[in-house]
Amino acid sequence: MANSAGSKKRARQAEKRRQHNASFRSMARTYMKKVTASIEAGDKAAATETFKAAQPFLDASVGKGIFTKNKIARVKSRLSAKIKAIA
């Protein structure tokens, strides 16, 4: 348990940051699921639009340190390949 004033403040900051990061991570995953859902529906136009909306958010999550660069690159690559595969 934190004893000094500085360590108490650091604990408060860490908890606040943890909650913010968890929220941001959840929103990013929701974007991924929306794109996947529109791909499974077979609507290429809707899938493209949702992917375009998700891309900047996913890139921002890398900048904020929520996800690693390679994970988001892999996710975006797989989603775009699935969108291209829709006939």
- Structural domains in the chain plus CATH codes: 5-85 (1.20.58.110)
pLDDT, tens digit (0-9, with 9 covering 90-100), for 55-85: 999 999 999 999 999 999 999 999 999 999 9
Q: H or E element: which one contains 48?
A: helix 44-63
Using an 8 Å Cβ cutoff, are 30 and 47 in contact?
no
Structure confidence at residue 74 (pLDDT): 97
Structure confidence at residue 1 (pLDDT): 72
pLDDT, tens digit (0-9, with 9 covering 90-100), for 37-56: 999 999 999 999 999 999 99
Residue 47 to residue 33: CA distance in whole angstroms: 11
pTM more than 0.95: no
Structure confidence at residue 87 (pLDDT): 74
Structure confidence at residue 2 (pLDDT): 78
